[in-house]
Amino acid sequence: MRIGIMGGTFDPIHYGHLNSAEEIAEIFKMDRVIFIPSFIPPHKKKEKITDVYHRLMMTMLATLSNPRFKVSTIEIERDGYSYTIDTINELRNSFKRSSAKNKFYFIVGVDAFKEIFTWKDSVRLLKNCDFIVTTRPSYKVDDLFNVLNDAAKKHRNVKFKIDRKNPFGKSPRLYIIGSKHFIYPVETTALDISSTDIRRRIKRGMTVKYLLPEFIEEYINKNRLYK
């Protein structure tokens, strides 16, 4: 089974998240994409985040109509800071009971992924999971390769090389030397939508129609979120 993992605060979830997940699921022929709302994201310690109950409900509502999309509460149930390495390990253990052949792909935007070495146990994480990195148009794999190699100079036990034999497309992928895992840069349809902008628009009384599902907009209005 091929399983995509999409983590985030989803504050709120929007069409950018949903479209990216759907396109990637199609390209990689995934059986499932799991959306995992974070409890406390480590990189947003100083930011005000909407109550996790509302973020979970919006994520569940937004993914309900897609049979390939699922929502997991493992980071919420774990409490505390939501570290990706802990989530990957927990998912791997939970799915091990059904099949040892499951393949996990962690989906992340290119700007966030360039900071991978600031994540908890980053080297171990890179060697335990494949990554799908969503990129912007004209973004080159060589650019990502150079950024990662420069950052990896502090970590002698991880190196990368470009692999042009990508079974999921014409674009090269990056091989994590010393592991069985790869980094797949994937260009998805560019939807210039952000949760930050949606919250700002709502606070200012501006329209957010067509930026997120209509029933999510209704949920936000009903619960007076982001006012």
For the beta carbon of residue 132, count every other beta carbon within 10 angstroms.
25
Task: Give the DSSP per-residue string, 114-167.
Answer: TTGGGSTTHHHHHTT-EEEEEE-TT--HHHHHHHHHHHGGG-TT--EEEE---T
Tokens standing for 26? 């199609």
* Residues 129, 181 contacting (CB under 8 angstroms): yes
Cα 165 from Cα 169, distance rounded (Å): 9
pLDDT score at 161: 92
- As given in the structure block, the two tokens for residue 15 are 């069409």
Give the type of residue at 119.
Answer: W
pLDDT, residue 40, reads: 87
Helix or strand (DSSP H, E) at 54: helix 52-63
Cα–Cα distance, 35 to 57 (Å, whole number)? 12
Distance CA 112, CA 28 (A): 21
DSSP 65-104: T-TTEEE--HHHHH-SB--HHHHHHHHHHHHHTT-TT-EE
**Element spanning 168, H or E:** none
| Cα(181)–Cα(192) distance, integer angstroms | 30
Q: Tell me, what's the pLDDT at 37?
A: 97
Strand partners, 37: 8
> How would DSSP label each residue in 185-222?
EEE-------HHHHHHHHHTT---BTTB-HHHHHHHHH
pTM of the model: 0.93
pLDDT for residue 100: 63
- Digit-coded pLDDT (tens) for 54-80: 999 999 999 999 999 999 999 999 888
Q: What is the pLDDT of residue 136?
A: 76
- Residues of the chain short of pLDDT 50, as ranges, are none
The helix (H) or strand (E) run that includes residue 113 is helix 110-113
